[in-house]
């Protein structure tokens, strides 16, 4: 398996623009997670899905952030409009929805908003 | 809310020596899972070791082992025979499994491990 695939690897955008991050989970996994990593706040869980259904989005910082999972093999995280403080590395991870399984992470997307 | 604390922002060890990274957590749950992840400069998150809270035996993976003290809510990682390739950020993480399925991981702030040749 190719693992969790995220695109793009790097994104530079101007403040106010819409940004869409993409994730393809490992085939067969039915839980998907979006994390944000910054120096100040570390790794924060933004939202997670079980069986394509959003379970907990309490970590989504503002209404500017939205996430979708239209099917079991694809998810997006959208920021509209983007702000410089959104600059971070965004990780997608997937796992099986059962006990004692670890989450497998993608390579992350480094987002820079200028 | 669950919290994970790593009190050592940075640790340094000589190659071939042993180092222990500390982690404490706070939870009211009785059944949960603990993990150590490694993040090298490539930024890929790599699972190092996993511990189920219901298991009394400490997990071991080759040169990596944990000291799990459930009552003290402590979960330290010991790396034996440190190698240059062990240099990375190490994150302690906690996960609870609810009836609805897997919950997300809660991470500590990380410990930067430096290996001195």
- Confidence grade of residue A106 (pLDDT, cut at 50, 70, 90): very high
Residue A33, min C-alpha distance to chain B (Å): 7
* Nearest alpha carbon to residue B3 among A45, A108, A104: A45
A62 vs B84, residue with greater confidence: B84
Which range is least confidently modeled, A6-15, A51-60, B9-18, B76-85? A51-60
What's the half-sphere exposure (Cβ side, CA atoms, 13 Å) at A67?
30
Q: How far apart are CA B114 and CA A108, in angstroms?
A: 23
Q: Mean pLDDT of all residues in chain B? A: 93
Q: How far apart are CA A102 and CA B95, in angstroms?
A: 9
For residues A48-69, average pLDDT? 92
Q: What pLDDT does B98 receive?
A: 65
Q: What is the CA radius of gyration of chain B?
A: 14
For residues B33-55, average pLDDT? 93
The SS3 call for residue A85 is helix
Q: How far apart are CA A2 and CA B21, in angstroms?
A: 31
Share of chain B above pLDDT 90, in %: 79
What's the half-sphere exposure (Cβ side, CA atoms, 13 Å) at B21?
34
Q: Is the pLDDT of residue B20 over 90?
A: yes
Picking from A50, A59, A108, the nearest residue to B100 by CB comes out as: A50
Q: Is the pLDDT of residue B59 over 80?
A: yes
Tokens describing residue B39: 């993040």
| Optimal mutation site among B6, B100, B101, interface A, most CBs of chain A within 10 A | B101
The SS3 call for residue A25 is coil
Q: Is the pLDDT of residue B102 over 70?
A: no
Q: What pLDDT does B101 receive?
A: 62
Which range is least confidently modeled, A3-17, A72-86, B29-43? B29-43
Tokens describing residue B64: 């990596």
- Confidence grade of residue A1 (pLDDT, cut at 50, 70, 90): low
Picking from A97, A100, A107, the nearest residue to B33 by CB comes out as: A100
- Residue of chain A nearest B51, judged by CA positions: A100
Judge: A48–B52 Cβ closer than 8 Å, yes or no: no
A12 vs B54, residue with greater confidence: A12
- In contact, A17 and A81? CB cutoff 8 Å: yes
Picking from B97, B106, B107, the nearest residue to A99 by CB comes out as: B97
B101 chain-A contacts, CB cut-off 8 A: 30-31, 50-51, 55, 97-98
* Sole residue written with tokens 């390579």: A107
Judge: B102–A50 Cβ closer than 8 Å, yes or no: yes
**Mind listing the pLDDT tens digit for each residue in A88-102?**
999 999 998 766 578
Judge: A97–B101 Cβ closer than 8 Å, yes or no: yes
Buried residues in B37-51 as b, exposed as e (16+ CB within 10 A): bbbeeeebbeebbbb
Q: How far apart are CA B101 and CA B85, in angstroms?
A: 35
Q: Is the pLDDT of residue B31 over 90?
A: no
* Strand pairing category for A88-95 and A104-105: antiparallel
- Confidence grade of residue B29 (pLDDT, cut at 50, 70, 90): confident
The SS3 call for residue B85 is helix
- In contact, A113 and A89? CB cutoff 8 Å: no
């Amino acid at each position: 398996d190719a693992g969790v695939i995220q695109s793009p690897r790097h994104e530079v955008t101007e403040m106010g623009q819409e940004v869409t991050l993409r994730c393809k989970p490992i085939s067969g996994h039915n839980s998907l997670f979006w994390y944000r990593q910054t120096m100040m706040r570390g790794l924060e869980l933004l939202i997670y899905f079980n069986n394509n259904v959003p379970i907990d989005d309490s970590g989504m910082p503002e209404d500017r952030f939205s996430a979708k999972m239209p099917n079991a093999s694809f998810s997006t995280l959208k920021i509209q409009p983007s702000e410089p403080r959104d600059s971070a590395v965004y990780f997608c991870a997937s796992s099986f929805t059962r006990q004692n399984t670890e989450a497998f992470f993608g390579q992350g997307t480094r987002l820079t908003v200028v | 809310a669950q919290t994970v604390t790593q009190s050592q922002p940075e640790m340094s060890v000589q190659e071939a020596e042993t180092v222990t990274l500390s982690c404490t957590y706070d939870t009211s749950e009785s059944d949960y899972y603990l993990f150590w992840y490694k993040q090298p400069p490539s930024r890929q998150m790599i699972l190092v070791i996993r511990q189920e809270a219901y298991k009394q035996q400490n997990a071991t993976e080759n040169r990596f082992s944990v000291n799990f003290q459930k009552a003290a809510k402590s979960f330290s990682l010991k790396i034996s025979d440190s190698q240059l390739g062990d240099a990375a950020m190490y994150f302690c993480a906690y996960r609870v499994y609810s009836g609805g399925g897997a919950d997300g991981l809660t991470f500590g702030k990380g410990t930067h491990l430096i290996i001195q040749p």
